[in-house]
Structure 1
Amino acid sequence: MTLLPIGLGGTELVAWRLDQAVHAPTWDSGEGAYRVGGRWNSKGVRAVYCSLDPATAILEVAVHKGFRSLDTVAHIMTAAVIGDAGDVHVLDPGSVPNPNWLRPGIPGAGQQAFGDDLLQRHRFVAIPSAVSSHSWNLIFLAGSGTGPYALKFQEAFALDTRLHPPAA
């Protein structure tokens, strides 16, 4: 059953992440971000990228890999509960020095340094998604230990096949 967000009567703040099945056991390691950097972290920083709803988590992966990969390579959807919503710093889009950082595109060094600083100062950071500007991502540093978040479940992901139709 789909969990209701807190705003609709749910009781938990849930972070969602979609990974290839082979990487699912280490979903919160920040390994990919560590190796190559990300939109809000420099290379060498173990940032873990999640979304605040499962649909955005799917889109965040699809924008990089495409629906074909989500249809043909096994993926796992992870749900993790944030222990205290008060630990989440919500980034005010108006406080971002460069509004282009909130749009799709290749991140620059300034954007990554800004994100590194946010991650050093806050346990969790909620940032608008570049894929869907009305959706939110949640980012945190790997190694936060148990307590700030807990794994709720992991389940096999099944893409709606209409998103990867046969060639005409």
Structure 2
Amino acid sequence: MRLFRIADSRHPLWDGQGALRLGGRFNSPDQPVVSAALTYAGALLEILAQARIGKLPRQQVFVMAEIPDHLAIERADRSRLPPGWDQPESPSARAFGDQWLAEQRPPYSWFPQWWPVRSGMR
């Protein structure tokens, strides 16, 4: 499986320190997590939604990784997610991800991406 990541070049790209300090959609602070997308477009949308400035921040770089086919990848598709996971700053999404990490599920896990949509956008 190929993964795509766009991240700040001023920091190590694969150490999870950003999520460790700030948390993310599916993890609370103090949980080192690295997120990536299945497509370059998905990675680009993710960073644009996070940046909220309408363009890619200058320090961002693109990296790609290959996950060998023989490694376990567990999917948390939408039917397994708690109500409200797709709301901004969702406590239920973070609690779900924190539990996932506490259970020491496979290190390569798939979660749906989510981007806020402004009112009036189609």
Instruction: Name the SS for the 1:63 alignment partner.
Output: helix
- How far does residue 97 in structure 1 lie from its aligned partner after superposition? 2.3
Match of 1:60 among 33, 46, 51: 46
Tell me the distance in 2 between the aligned counterparts of 1:60 and 1:104.
Answer: 15
Aligned equivalent of 2:35: 49
- How far does residue 21 in structure 1 lie from its aligned partner after superposition? 2.3
Q: CA RMSD in A?
A: 1.9
TM-score (norm 2): 0.82
Pairing 1:91–2:76 present: yes
Q: How many corresponding residue pairs?
A: 113
Pairing 1:78–2:63 present: yes
Seen in structure 2, the aligned counterparts of structure 1 residues 105 and 85 have a Cα distance that, compared at 3 Å, is farther
- How far does residue 22 in structure 1 lie from its aligned partner after superposition? 1.8
Match of 2:100 among 109, 112, 118: 118
- How far does residue 82 in structure 1 lie from its aligned partner after superposition? 0.6
Aligned equivalent of 2:112: 128
Match of 1:38 among 19, 24, 28: 24
Amino acid at match of 2:4: W
Per-residue displacement from partner, 1:55-90 (whole Å, max 9, x unpaired)? 01011010121333x1x6132101011123651111
- How far does residue 105 in structure 1 lie from its aligned partner after superposition? 0.9
- Greater strand content: 1
Tell me the distance in 2 between the aligned counterparts of 1:87 and 1:96.
Answer: 20
- Greater helix content: 1
Tell me the distance in 2 between the aligned counterparts of 1:85 and 1:97.
Answer: 29
Q: Is the 8 A contact 1:104 1:131 kept in 2?
A: no
- How far does residue 123 in structure 1 lie from its aligned partner after superposition? 1.7
Tell me the distance in 2 between the aligned counterparts of 1:81 and 1:37.
Answer: 25
Q: Which runs of 5+ in 2 are unaligned?
A: 117-122
Instruction: Name the SS for the 2:21 alignment partner.
Output: helix
